[in-house]
Amino acid sequence: EVVPLYLGAQYNLRPPSSRWVPYARFDLGVAHLGSVDVSFGGLSSEYWNASWVGMFDLGGGLEYRMDSLSIFVDVRVRYLGQPDSSLGTFSDADPSWTLPVTSGIRSSF
């Protein structure tokens, strides 16, 4: 389970009056990583502790604006910090990089 909390900024590459608006986006914050348990042969152990890690992402997208609604799609490169190991060096992990693709609807008022 990953719960990100962040603040971001978006820079529109065309004026607000345009129908098609490409944009660049940057977000900075933290993410809560849930604990991970592993089991083998009836034995169970916590592999990673629940922890807060730093995160950021950088990307861009395209928005199509209609009167008070718009639709968008964007792609970002996201970094999540290293999870907290519960079993010492045996369960150490590297930070992760992902490539989330997001689409949605925005409302303006």
d(CA 23, CA 106): 14
Pairing assessment for the beta strands 43-49 and 51-65 based on DSSP bridges: unpaired
Please name the residue that has the structure tokens 């962040």.
Answer: 6
The confidence score (pLDDT) of residue 60 equals 97
The series of mean pLDDT values per 10 residues for the chain, 109 residues long, is 93 92 97 84 79 95 94 96 80 88 92
Please write down the long-range contacts of 64-69, taking CB distance under 8 Å and 24 or more positions apart: 64/19, 64/20, 64/21, 65/16, 65/18, 65/19, 65/20, 65/21, 66/19, 68/107, 68/108, 68/109, 69/105, 69/106, 69/107, 69/108
Question: pLDDT at position 59, please?
Answer: 98
Angle at 45 (CA atoms; ends 44, 47), nearest 5 degrees: 135
Output the pLDDT for position 50: 87
- Structure tokens given for 90: 């045996």
